[in-house]
Structure 1
Amino acid sequence: MPQPPQLRNDLYIRLQRLSAWCGVVLFVGFLIAFVVGHLTPPMSPTESPDDIVSFLKDHRTGILTCVALMVLLVPFEYPYVVVTSLQMRRVEGGWGLLSMIQLLTGVVAPVGFFFPLAILAAAAYRPEIHSADVLSAMTDTFWLMFVGNACIFVLQVWSIGYASFVDHTREKPLFPRWYGWLSVVLGILLIPGAFVFLNRTGPLAWDGLFAYALPSAAYFVWKIATPYVLLKAISDEERELAQA
């Protein structure tokens, strides 16, 4: 027997809220995982091969625990990305360029975690059977991919932020203007990550101010702000559905 429309609306809103809360789960989980794995702050690119081997051996359990936690957490990115695009869709009046860019780039996002972390896990899994040169190369690959690939998601961040600037049909935009500017700033701060491949020291190295510290700080602020903004937008949609 078909359910009343209001019950279907309630379920839809509940699922959206759960998806928005996935952003909080990701934020807290990522922070715990990287602290447990001793991956923040990152090691210096100038570390010697022997120092890298010592780090992998000393923190083997923490690194592998970090990777296991990340493997469990990263799938929560998908409902979080989908609900973001659903709310952006309301701004565009249907599926449009902004919501589709966000959805497609968001689907790719977990790959940016899985691949480099798998390489680091392989290095820490049995460090005693590999040479220092091999372990150094694997660790370099992890940090170069993890920090360097962050700039890939500039368009994702900007598409969400831009949605706040084009929402002229409402007196109060679904995505507040301050959030739009926060997204613009984060996108700009992700760009220097591309230059870690060219620098071993300084602010553009993988442990540098511009390539790591500032983008990481902005990312965590953004990761707190986005679920908040989404939950407010979902509440707005719930009021619209109740009045329909």
Structure 2
Amino acid sequence: MNNDLYIRLQRISAWCGVVLFVGMLTAFSVGHLIPAMSPTESPDDVVAFLKDHRTGILTCVSLMVLLVPFEYPFVVVTSLQLRRVEGGWGLLSMIQLTTGVVAPLGFFFPLAILAAAAWRPEIHSADVLTAMSDTFWLMYVGNACIFVLQVWSIGYASFVDHRRAKPLFPRWYGWLSTVLGVLLVPGAFVFLNQTGPLAWNGILANGIPSIAYIAWKISTPYVLLKAIKDEEKELAGKAEPALAAAV
């Protein structure tokens, strides 16, 4: 593969992260899943929600099925840039790659369960539909912890990039990734709380992590595109040489 095509494919892959992010916000808005439903809703309220928003929910799931695959090129290009930090495939790039490949399942499975609940709500009892709705929210918010090692591995790379005078991933992005990883941890406690800040609609398990995730999802393509531009110059022989003596 020639260098021009290689760089072009990397840029397209970085923009795939933007496509997924914008599409996800659109899909969840169409499905009336923003903000999250309260865990204390009665079974009758859950049934009413599924019936009233059936078309929106199913449209949301269909859009997400089309959009989630865009995460894969985004994950791969991120690992390719991490590989440059490590000087080859290493622990950080492989952790990011493996966790990034698994992470989309955190969308697919919960959304499939919600789609099944909204598909024919009239033939299921309120208890069954409530259980399916609960499963969706518990998996969707609780599984956010899958991303912890992924974002930490990317963030840590900004602190250990001693191969060049100017790190590929800036320090501020490293701190953002570190903080996001910490903020995702409370999601694990939604299984223990029906009310309060650690419930699936709570400020600690959902609200603050969502804001941090939005900031991270906007900044990551930006950082990646700058790193790809640096690699383009490097391949053309115009980049600043890596500080090999510092390794």
User: Cα deviation per residue 1:80-99 (whole Å; 9 max; x = unaligned)?
Assistant: 00000000000000000000
SS in 1 for 2:196: coil
| TM superposition shift of 1:36 | 0.3
Alignment partners' CA distance in 2, 1:214 and 1:69: 25
Pick aligned residue for 1:110 from 97, 104, 113: 104
Q: Work out which of the residue numbers 50, 54, 66 in structure 2 matches 1:60.
A: 54
Q: Which amino acid is the alignment partner of residue 221 of structure 1?
A: A
2:209 corresponds to 1:242: no
Q: Residues of 1 paired with 2:16 and 2:125: CA distance?
A: 40
Determine helix, strand or coil for the equivalent of 1:237: helix
Q: Which of 6, 9, 26 matches 2:20?
A: 26
Residue in 2 aligned with 1:135?
A: 129
Q: Which residue identity is paired with 1:14?
A: R
Using the TM superposition, give the Cα deviation of residue 171 of structure 1 relative to its aligned residue in structure 2, in angstroms. 1.2
Offset of 1:79 from its aligned partner? 0.3
| Residue from 109, 130, 139 that aligns with 1:145 | 139
> How do residues 141-220 of structure 1 correspond to structure 2 at under 5 angstroms?
141-220=135-214
Residues 80-127 of structure 1: CA distance to partner in whole angstroms, max 9, x if unpaired?
Answer: 000000000000000000000000000001110000000000000000
The answer to whether 1:38 aligns with 2:42 is: no
Equivalent residue number for residue 241 of structure 2? none
How far apart, in 2, do the equivalents of 1:73 and 1:22 lie? 9
2:194 counterpart letter in structure 1? R
- Structure 2: distance between partners of 1:163 and 1:141: 35
CA shift for structure 1 position 159: 0.1
Other-structure match for 2:9: 15
In the alignment, the residues of structure 1 paired with residue 90 and residue 40 of structure 2 have an alpha-carbon distance, to the nearest angstrom, of 45
Partner of 2:245: none
Q: Which amino acid aligns with 1:163?
A: A
Structure 2 SS opposite 1:201 = coil
TM-score (norm 1): 0.97
**In 2: Cα distance, 1:112 partner to 1:27 partner:** 15
- Give the distance between the partners of 2:3 and 2:97, measured in 1 at CA: 23
SS at match of 1:243: coil
> Separation in 2 of the partners of 1:212 and 1:65?
23
Structure 1: which 4+ aligned runs deviate by more than 4 Å?
Answer: none
The count of residues paired between Structure 1 and Structure 2 equals 238
One-letter amino acid matched to 2:12? L
Question: Once the two structures are superposed, what CA deviation does each residue of 1:60-92 show, in whole Å capped at 9, x if it has no partner?
Answer: 000000000000000000000000000000000
Matched, 1:81 2:75: yes
Partner of 1:3: none
Identity among equivalent positions (%) equals 84
Give the counterpart letter for 1:193 in structure 2. G
- For the aligned residue pairs, the C-alpha RMSD in angstroms reads 0.8
How far off its partner does 1:170 sit?
1.2
Which stretches in structure 2 are left out of the alignment for 5+ residues? 239-247
Task: Give, in whole Å, the separation in 2 of the partners of 1:226 and 1:30.
Answer: 16
**Deviation of the 1:168 alpha carbon:** 1.2
Per the normalisation by structure 2, the TM-score is: 0.95
Supply the AA of the counterpart residue of 1:210: L
Matched with 1:100 is 94
